[in-house]
A and B are shown apart, each in its own frame.
Chain A
Amino acid sequence: MTPRPSPLKPPTRRVLALGLEGSANKLGAGIMAHYPDAPPKVLSNVRHTYITPPGEGFLPRDTAQHHRQWVIDVVNKALKETGVTMQEVDCICYTKGPGMGAPLQTTALVARTLSLLYNKPLIPVNHCVGHIEMGRLITGATNPIVLYVSGGNTQVIAYSRQRYRIFGETLDIAVGNMLDRFARVIGLSNDPAPGYNIEQEAKRGKRLLPLPYATKGMDVSLSGILTNAEVYTQDTRFRPHPTDEEINEPLLDVITPQDLCFSLQETVYSMLVEITERAMAHVGSREVLIVGGVGSNERLQQMMGRMAEERGGKVFATDERFCIDNGIMIAQAGILAYRMGESADLAECTCTQRFRTDEVHVNWRR
């Protein structure tokens, strides 16, 4: 049986897309080029992150303010790096959702303004689909099971019949959200990212503390882990500011922030790998693609790699340039839709906080 031909025809000339991302605390702009006879190319990928002080999360209003303040710089830089002008760009792609309301509105407003100023078609993009399409492009994974892990999302996704279908997901809070909140509980810095700092602390953890391992079918529940980790910080054995001896001596009966980070990572990532493996077994796939900000975690990648290896498969992950929210992924997903002849009227170019991955008609895949 010969596979059906791809519905996506090669472009007749170079196509350029500007992608704008601002659904959470990262503001990004990137320019993607697709060619008739060469692989797609990332021409630029610029990002500016709103970083809050330790112990504080980012609030929608302040984040939107950050985006307004930086958006001109970020877009200009993206254009300058490529040497192309706005006139040469074929379409403007922006994140329609899901995400935080105020930052999304800011980004959509910028996209609409640029569209009117330069008379360019607008392409609204689902943020999650952006992650998936960018991951597929960078890694070359053709039809992987996707683990999408970020501040707002925890999903196991498989492609079938022109939809990215959700096989498993969190039943309560997203993994990134859980890590951010935990980082706040133990007072870790938000720079460069709370999850990154948890990963560094975890490397010095010695003691595996029991935390609720809650997989339910292909879904996970994560809020119990956060609650339990918080309870450990009230334990009399907890040392908020441990000495080197307290960190390194495995026989001392103390609980350090490093132990908590270690236990948290081991437990949570095991759960995520387990539900991914279930989905792989369910659909008979051997490839895994990890996308989303938490996907840059090396321990998660290592565990996923070990699992995939045991199944005779392979794990694909991208580095933080493409894993963490960025504009180029929006450009990539948008340019695919644009090449399929899609564009939206200005009035349709709104944004929405809720936008399921499986709502998007993926007409560029067979």
Chain B
Amino acid sequence: MSPDTRSQKVYLSPPFPEPILLKHRFTKSYRHPTLDAQITRTRVQMEARALVRCQRAGVRVPGVRLVDAAVGVLGVEWIEGASVRKVLGGGAEAEDEDEDEEADVEELIMRLIGLEISKMHRADIIHGDLTTSNMMLRRLPSPSQTSEIVLIDFGLSSTSLLVEDKAVDLYVLERAFASTHPDSESLFGGVLEAYSKGMGKAWPPIYKRLEEVRLRGRKRSMVG
């Protein structure tokens, strides 16, 4: 999906039981080579740092397994499951399910998403590219019936205390919902509700700023 990386499932020492996801960042020939090398290195570095920070803050993310920033390679824990984008897209497997049940599942997923993002923002980590493709619904091994949301792809992440950056992070996700899941307003509402609970007192200023960012995006004065 991402035009920047190629990912593959590998076993470093087969048949060592745990597979990893190896992400290789492409060299972009359109970029100045110095700039490109710098961006590649920075993105691998930022992603690895963000993953550890998230992990330690209790945010569900894949663990880091291997880092080779010089060649743009990052290995992370393999997550068994499907992206939220795919899950929400429905498709054949969703058809014979009860519609009410499906709505309940969607609601639960939105709550989990909101909760994970709030934990991430409380730790002052900005994802930078929140989309439904960048969230996995991890199937827990049986007998467990539950699933959990795992945030992935931290290549554009940064750390920031600013309300602005957190609001923009949410705005990016809101737009991703709107462009990939038509009629998604209520879904995103569920995300914000869980997020606001998770953020507690930090929520009102972020909400206020989110409204400003929306306005800036939609009705920003545009001079021809």
Contact mask for chain A residues 298-323; partner B; CB cutoff 8 A; 1 contact, 0 none: 00001110110011000000000000
CB–CB A174/B223 < 8 A? yes
Chain A, 93-125, CB within 8 A of any chain B CB: 95, 97-100, 104
Pick from A99, A169, A216: contact of B128, CB under 8 Å: A216
Query: Could you say which interface size class chain B belongs to?
Result: 20 to 34
Chain A, 15-42, CB within 8 A of any chain B CB: 23-24
For residue A297, which residues in chain B have a CB less than 8 angstroms away from its CB?
none
In the complex the two chains form, what is the Cα distance from A278 to B168 in whole Å?
18
For residue B179, which residues in chain A have a CB less than 8 angstroms away from its CB?
165, 167, 282
Least CB separation from B217: chain A residue: A169
Contact mask for chain B residues 17-34; partner A; CB cutoff 8 A; 1 contact, 0 none: 000000000001111101
Pick from A98, A277, A282, A302: contact of B223, CB under 8 Å: A98
In the complex the two chains form, what is the Cα distance from A325 to B129 in whole Å?
33
For residue B35, which residues in chain A have a CB less than 8 angstroms away from its CB?
208, 213, 266-267, 270
Interface size on A, residues (CB 8 A): 50
Least CB separation from A23: chain B residue: B224
The residue in A104, A213, A217 that gathers the most chain B C-beta atoms within 10 A of its C-beta is A217
Listed stretches A77-85, A223-231, A252-260, A350-358; interface member: A350-358
Task: Kindly state whether residue B221 has any CB partner on chain A within 8 Å.
Answer: yes
Q: Name the prevailing secondary structure of the A interface residues.
A: mixed
CB–CB B30/A24 < 8 A? no
- State how many angstroms separate the Cβ of B62 from the closest Cβ of chain A: 20
CB–CB A95/B224 < 8 A? yes
Task: Kindly state whether residue B218 has any CB partner on chain A within 8 Å.
Answer: yes
CB–CB A219/B30 < 8 A? no
Task: Kindly state whether residue B172 has any CB partner on chain A within 8 Å.
Answer: yes
Task: Kindly state whether residue A150 has any CB partner on chain B within 8 Å.
Answer: yes
CB–CB B130/A217 < 8 A? yes
Additional A-B contacts beyond A95-B224, A97-B224, A104-B224 (10; CB < 8 A): A152-B222, A153-B222, A171-B213, A174-B223, A210-B38, A270-B39, A277-B3, A303-B31, A304-B30, A354-B220
Q: Which 7 A-B pairs have the closest CB atoms?
A: A23-B224, A152-B223, A99-B224, A98-B222, A306-B30, A303-B30, A217-B172
